[in-house]
Amino acid sequence: MSDPRNATGAVNLDEKLATFSECWSPRVVARMNDVEFKLVKMHGDFVWHSHADTDEVFLVVKGEMEIGFRDRNVLLREGEMFVIPRGVEHITRAREECHALIVEPRDVVNTGDAGGELTARNDVWV
């Protein structure tokens, strides 16, 4: 789909989520300056990773997810958000399919310093 940044209507998150089914593959729905708003579907465990240069925000749209740290876990339910500080190693998990909005700078690699097969393409818009 083409870049909808010039759209004049509201962004409907449910409609955008209905356009893809892949887990762990964030899709951009808006950009503000150099910050992107990305929707992601998750199920199971992601990978342990960190982002050395940026914080990362997760806002749960549907379901619930867990953010694991080496010393604790944070459970997020629908309507809750959490800011992961830059450089902090973490893993995201969802026992059932969960939908979340991620807020982070443009061009952040979803697997951070870990890389691997779950690394998603950047700048994929829905």
CATH number at residue 60: 2.60.120.10
- Does 4 map to a domain? no
- Does 10 map to a domain? no
Q: Could you list the residue range(s) of the whole structural domain that residue 96 is in?
A: 15-105
- Give the pLDDT confidence score for residue 1 in this predicted structure: 43
- Does 114 map to a domain? no
17-39 pLDDT, tens digit per residue, is 999 999 999 999 999 999 999 99
CA–CA separation, 17 and 12 (whole Å): 9
Percent of the chain surpassing pLDDT 90: 92
- Domains of the chain: total: 1
**Residue 2: pLDDT over 70:** no
- Does 20 map to a domain? yes
Strand extents, DSSP E, 1-126: 27-32, 35-45, 56-62, 64-68, 73-77, 81-84, 91-105
Tokens representing 13 are: 């998150």
Which residues are CB-contacts of 14 (< 8 A; sequence separation ≥ 6)?
none
CA–CA separation, 15 and 92 (whole Å): 24
- Give the pLDDT confidence score for residue 76 in this predicted structure: 98
CA–CA separation, 116 and 20 (whole Å): 21
- Does 26 map to a domain? yes
- Does 122 map to a domain? no
- Give the pLDDT confidence score for residue 7 in this predicted structure: 65
CA–CA separation, 81 and 38 (whole Å): 14
- Does 115 map to a domain? no
- Give the pLDDT confidence score for residue 3 in this predicted structure: 57
57-98 pLDDT, tens digit per residue, is 999 999 999 999 999 999 999 999 999 999 999 999 999 999
- Does 46 map to a domain? yes
